[in-house]
């Protein structure tokens, strides 16, 4: 088996070339993404794009482990990071370590991602100093949708920009190898990228970041419940799949599928 990129390799891309990241949740999709990506994120976005949940708040550690294992079976090149879901790390640094260690042991992934700024810095330092590579996540933090009053882009006011700046610095100084910046205005994402050691991975945070990530089902045009400004459809899989289902249904109803080539006949006796 080929050796996968490490979190250290991802940080080393900073200032060299953009880091390419996609979310991945299943083995077959991972096999398709892996050769093209530096980093694969088993995101808790799976709650919304795979399970039909309205937010990521209901995602469990067991769900993350099942999908983390599926992704690890398909990854041979990219670094694989698994999201810590809501409620599995915010209570204490000890709780965070327990959850992170369980996920790393049961999946074999390369590290974990957690959302949060200054309030999570102590936790990030605790994890990193004990052998858990941490991918941070600042700006728009979907697990905080209930206190934030919805999904809105960040950094428009000076006060909000200053808070995100301090969050990114705190997580960087705590030792995160990379930090997702989500839904954040360009000048701030650019400034943070230029002033921290960690690689910044943007989603709705401008081309100034050290790398980019998208939710794979979004960029494939598979999850179309809503389309944030920062999503680009690189394909229309929803259209392709609807058409396939429609054609299949038509052929079954017309009895034109299965054809002779799909049908077993008794082998002639010798
Ligand atoms: O869960 C997820 O997919 C994420 C990325 C969008 C960064 O956290
Ligand atoms: Na996430």
Q: Which CATH number fits domain 7-236: 3.40.1550.10, 3.30.420.60, 3.40.50.970, 3.20.20.60?
A: 3.20.20.60
Do the beta carbons of residue 41 and residue 213 sit within 8 Å?
A: yes
Do the beta carbons of residue 192 and residue 141 sit within 8 Å?
A: no
Instruction: List Cβ neighbours of 150 (8 Å cut-off, separation of 6 or more).
Output: none
Ligand having the closest approach to the CA of 205:
1
Nearest to 163 by CA among 195, 130, 118: 118
Mean pLDDT, the chain, whole residue set: 97
Q: Which protein residues touch ligand 1 with a CB less than 6 Å away?
A: 23, 41, 43-45, 83, 180, 203, 213, 215
State the pLDDT at residue 224. Answer: 86
Rounded to a whole number of angstroms, the CA Rg of the chain reads: 21
Nearest to 197 by CA among 38, 15, 22: 15
Across 77-91, average pLDDT: 98
Residue 182 annotated as catalytic:
yes
| Higher pLDDT, residue 175 or 226 | 175
* Structure tokens, 198: 């960690």
Across 76-102, average pLDDT: 98
Ligand having the closest approach to the CA of 182:
1
* Structure tokens, 264: 């077993």
Closest CA to ligand 1's atom 2: 43
| Higher pLDDT, residue 248 or 1 | 248
Q: Candidates 25, 141, 213: which one to mutate for ligand 1, based on the most atoms within 8 Å of Cβ?
A: 213
Do the beta carbons of residue 215 and residue 43 sit within 8 Å?
A: yes
Nearest to 35 by CA among 22, 45, 16, 17: 22
Q: How far apart are CA 6 and CA 26, in angstroms?
A: 21
- Nearby residues for ligand 2 (ion, Cβ within 5 Å): 43-44, 83
Q: What is the ipTM of this complex?
A: 0.99
Q: Which of 182, 186, 246, 261 is catalytic?
A: 182
Is the backbone peptide bond immediately before 206 cis, with ω within 30 degrees of 0? no
Across 1-20, average pLDDT: 93
3-state secondary structure of 137: strand
pLDDT digits (tens, 9 = 90+) for 27-78: 999 999 999 999 999 999 999 999 999 999 999 999 999 999 999 999 999 9
For 18-120, where are the alpha helices, taking DSSP H only? 27-33, 46-49, 61-74, 93-107
pLDDT digits (tens, 9 = 90+) for 109-166: 999 999 999 999 999 999 999 999 999 999 999 999 999 999 999 999 999 999 999 9
Class of residue 112 by CB neighbours under 10 A (exposed 0-12, middle 13-18, buried 19+): buried
Q: How far apart are CA 177 and CA 186, in angstroms?
A: 21
Binding-site residues for 3-methyl-2-oxobutanoate: 44-45, 83, 113
Q: Read off φ and ψ for residue 14, nearest 5 degrees.
A: -55, 130
State the pLDDT at residue 2. Answer: 63
């Amino acid at each position: 088996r080929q050796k996968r990129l490490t979190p250290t390799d991802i940080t080393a891309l900073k200032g060299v070339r953009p880091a390419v990241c996609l979310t991945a949740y299943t083995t077959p999709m991972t096999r398709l993404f892996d050769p093209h990506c530096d980093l694969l994120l088993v995101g808790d976005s799976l709650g919304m794009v795979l399970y039909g949940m309205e937010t990521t708040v209901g995602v469990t550690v067991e769900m993350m482990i099942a999908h983390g294992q599926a992704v690890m079976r398909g990854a041979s090149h990219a670094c694989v990071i698994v999201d810590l879901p809501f409620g599995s790390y915010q209570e204490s640094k000890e709780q965070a370590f327990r959850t992170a260690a369980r996920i790393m042991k049961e999946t074999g992934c390369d590290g974990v991602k957690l959302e949060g700024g200054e309030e999570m810095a102590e936790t990030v330092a605790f994890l990193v100093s004990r052998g858990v590579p941490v991918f941070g996540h600042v700006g728009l933090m979907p697990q905080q949708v209930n206190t934030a009053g919805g999904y809105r882009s960040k950094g428009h006011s000076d006060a909000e920009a200053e808070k995100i700046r301090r969050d990114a610095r705190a997580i960087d100084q705590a030792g995160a190898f990379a930090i997702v910046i989500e839904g954040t205005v360009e000048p701030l994402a650019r400034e943070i990228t230029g002033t921290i050691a960690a690689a910044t991975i943007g989603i709705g945070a401008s081309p100034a970041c050290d790398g980019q990530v998208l939710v794979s089902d979004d960029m494939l045009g598979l999850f179309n419940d809503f389309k944030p400004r920062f999503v680009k459809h690189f394909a229309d899989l929803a259209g392709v799949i609807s058409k396939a289902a429609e054609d299949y249904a038509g052929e079954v109803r017309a009895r034109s599928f299965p054809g002779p080539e799909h049908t077993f006949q008794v082998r002639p006796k010798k």
